[in-house]
Amino acid sequence: MEWLAGTSADVLCLQEVRAEPEQLPQEVREPQGWHVVHAPAAAKGRAGVSLYTRREPDRVRIGFGSAEFDGSGRYVEADLPGVTVASLYLPSGEVGTERQDEKIRFMAEFLVYLKELRARAAADGREVLVCGDWNIAHQEADLKNWRANRKSSGFLPEERAWLGDVFAGGGYVDVVRALHPGVEGPYSWWSYRGRAFDNDSGWRIDYHVATPGLAGRAVKGFVERAATHGERWSDHAPVTVAYDL
């Protein structure tokens, strides 16, 4: 709540909320000055995404038309003037398990939707922004220990190629990477194990993925990394981008 009270953001995208809306304190469920849509997962205590907007959306959609995933608490989008903003929590996966198979199925369906969404938005003169936990580090610069993770979910060749297709074939832009080319990170997730946070041994898996027109209006992007390990309130940190609109 302290962070929310201090931010100047117009839109806040949350992932892995886990709680049902009625389980959240009133000041979190419906903060004063915000319009909120929660999309919890049908499986209690898992996933869950939310969108907080200063302005009331013109339209809200939960899910992306998937029979398998629309009830999984992984995608919600809202139409605001000139832009559709979405909160995404892509499955994390685990090599050699059904969780990885689920992730691959999600990716296949979601890429089709992303391309359709961009086409519809272009026809309507709108931009698109999909924020959230994509659970894939695209390039070697996107995780500290990339050599040790070449066979790990989140950095598999097929996952990286898929994200590349989102950018190249899908016509989207990795906004923070465009603002910070040729540098390591900035990382947005650190394991709770060992001293990963203290050593900044992290992954960049949380993205602003935007259509080119909106991406071109990004003026700054940064990770709101806590000053110390003890001050963290998640293993992720907020990824914030300011757009000149």
List the catalytic residues.
89, 133, 236
Q: Binding site annotation covers 38?
A: no
Q: Binding site annotation covers 135?
A: yes
Q: Give the integer Cα–Cα distance in Å for 188 and 210.
A: 18
Q: Binding site annotation covers 16?
A: yes
Q: Give the integer Cα–Cα distance in Å for 155 and 31.
A: 37
Q: Binding site annotation covers 236?
A: yes
Residue appearing with tokens 């040790």: 148
CA angle 98, 99, 105 (to 5 degrees): 85
Q: Give the integer Cα–Cα distance in Å for 120 and 106.
A: 21
Q: Binding site annotation covers 133?
A: yes
Give one DSSP letter per residue of the chain, joined into a string: -HHHHH---SEEEEE---S-GGGS-HHHHS-TT-EEEEE--SSTTS--EEEEESSPPSEEEES-S-TTTTTSS-EEEEEETTEEEEEEE-----TTSHHHHHHHHHHHHHHHHHHHHHHHHHHTT-EEEEEEE-----SGGGBTT-GGGTTSTTS-HHHHHHHHHHHTTS--EEHHHHHSTTS-----B--SSTTTTTTT--B--EEEEE-HHHHTTEEEEEE---SSGGG-SSSB--EEEEE--
Annotated binding site for Mg(2+): 16, 133, 135, 235-236
